[in-house]
Amino acid sequence: MMLKGRSLLEPSDFSVEEIESLFGLAGRIMDAPSDYSEVCRGRLLATLFYEPSTRTRFSFEAAMLRLGGQVIGFSEPGSSSVAKGESIADTIKTVACYADIAVIRHPKEGAPRVAAMSTDMPVINAGDGGHQHPTQTLTDLLTVKRARGGFENLTVGVCGDLKFGRTVHSLIKALARYSGVSFVLISPQELMVPEYVRKEVLKKTASPFRETENLLDVISELDVLYMTRVQRERFFNEEDYIRLKDSYILDAEKMRGARRDMMVLHPLPRVNEIAAEVDSDPRAFYFKQAQNGMYIRMALIMALLGIKE
Amino acid sequence: MVVINSISKGIVIDHIRAGYGMRVLEYLNIDASCNTVAFIMNAVSDKHGRKDLIKIENITDVDLTVLGLIDHNATVNIIEDHIIVRKIKLRLPETVTNVIKCKNPRCVASSESGVPHIFRLVDESTKEYRCEYCDDIVKAGEGL
């Protein structure tokens, strides 16, 4: 695995084989975490969060601390020089003087790429606006891989805000590379996948896909149902948000129409798109995803820093 | 009728879509203070009805990459000793920097100063380009 020194800005930055090797490493860490508790001693991870985050920031910080490394950073730009108007390029160049690897979340699409272009230090995209969220995708894929053994020939439904849902864009980009994967895109007209996902990913990879507005019509066909939140902060217009936010709510009634082995995934946090009654359903995997997230991020940090097992 | 003499050495960019000549000159970055440049706007054309035309004397090594993006129907002839020694077929460039501006308000390039606007060719037949940062797709000509 030659990931040392590289950045992860979107899933296709890594080959399928490289992602597979990360899954392998994450699995070994899960099996024997104490074997890895000192491997990053003396290494520093910088977390630059220009946007709020609980899960992603905590899981990166927990990942680095569990590897024996340390963490610096900010969780809101108001407490950094960003508030004075410092550019992303200047911030990352400064951070690179102190840290070995950086994680960046930013409301602007492509901001992590600007950071990566400005430094030799590995940069990890922890979510850029409504664009991409590749480490969430690694988490999603690891969860499916461990439950189903692989991705070939899966029918994957993605439901909710497919226009601004960065986790959806990254997931489709990653899964479209596996043979036989087909997609059912379930969303209101207003929140369908962006043009580049349709043209550059689905059509280019010749992945079968269809689009529908009705979750109930297709739920029985799915191996995986990936639910997403209709995010208030992605709308320019509050009225649009209120009109669409409850469009797709998964509850026990809808789950009755699903296959017995369908996996329900969600990047979290949820608002009301999955009813709490679904949590106890053995097909609900979303809290397992959160747990897997830390292990895959441990593997990613090790790989980008070039730390041998 | 305007008459412009032929040149003995240089570049003739003909059949530029009428109204686009100024933009072509701008992107070719020819220094008109030390080069002889003839620029004809809105000339009568048998092919297109109207056209713009540019003649640049004594220069043959101009970077024409961006020309394919602005107007790939234009024709480019390289002249030496009064003879056309080469006809250049224009193609859409694979990558263009600071020619197309990203208009996605959510894109980092639209708000962060000093970030080069980079676009990569997606599909030559549809003339579509993709923003390097936000992946927004634009048609050549739309964002110029």
pLDDT at B99 over 90: no
| pLDDT(A247) > 70 | no
Integer Cα distance of B79 and A305 in angstroms: 56
Substitution target from A108, A172, A198 for chain B, most B beta carbons within 10 A: A108
Interchain CB distance below 8 Å, B123 and A199:
yes
- Confidence band, pLDDT 50/70/90 cuts, at residue A234: low
Task: Give the pLDDT of residue B143.
Answer: 47
Does the pLDDT value for residue B111 go beyond 80? yes
Which range, of A65-79, A158-172, A240-254, B95-109, averages the lowest pLDDT?
A240-254
- The model's pLDDT over A149-176, given as tens digits with 9 standing for 90+, comes to 999 999 999 999 999 999 999 999 999 9
Q: In whole numbers, what is the pLDDT of chain B averaged over residues?
A: 87
Torsion of CA A164, A168, A170, A175, to 10 degrees: -150
Q: Which amino acid is at A208?
A: P
Size of interface A-B (CB pairs under 8 A): 60
Residues β-bridged to residue A109: B107
Topology (CATH level 3) of domain A11-132+293-305: Rossmann fold (3.40.50)
Closest CA to A106 of B144, B100, B115: B115
Whether A138 shows a pLDDT value over 90: the answer reads: yes
Interstrand relation of B10-17 and B49-57 (parallel, antiparallel or unpaired): antiparallel
> Is A66 in CB contact (< 8 Å) with chain B?
no
B10-88 CATH choice from 3.20.20.410, 3.40.50.2300, 3.40.50.920, 3.30.70.140: 3.30.70.140
Chain B hits for A88, Cβ within 8 Å: 108, 112
Non-local CB neighbours of A253 within 8 Å, separated by 6+ positions = none
Residues of chain A with CATH 3.40.50.1370: 11-132+293-305, 134-289
3-state secondary structure of B89: coil
Q: Which of B104, B109, B112 sits opposite A87 (nearest CB)?
A: B112
Q: Inter-chain contact B115–A200, Cβ cutoff 8 Å?
A: no
Terminal Cα distance for chain A, rounded: 12
pLDDT confidence of A241, banded at 50, 70, 90? confident
pLDDT the model gives residue A57:
95
Rg (CA), chain A: 19
Spatial neighbors of B130 by CB under 8 A, at least 6 apart, are: A196, A200, B119, B120, B122, B136, B137
Quick check: B95 pLDDT over 90? yes
User: Each residue of A274-293: pLDDT tens digit?
Assistant: 999 999 999 999 999 999 99
Classify domain A134-289 at the CATH superfamily level: Aspartate/ornithine carbamoyltransferase (3.40.50.1370)
| Range B86-92 average pLDDT | 89
Chain B residue closest to A109 (CA)? B107
- Strand-pairing partners, residue B39, are B54
Asked if B84 is an interface residue toward chain A (Cβ–Cβ < 8 A), one would say: no
What is the ipTM, given to two decimal places?
Answer: 0.89
Looking at domain B95-139, its CATH class is mainly beta
Q: Per-residue confidence at A143, pLDDT binned at 50, 70, 90?
A: very high
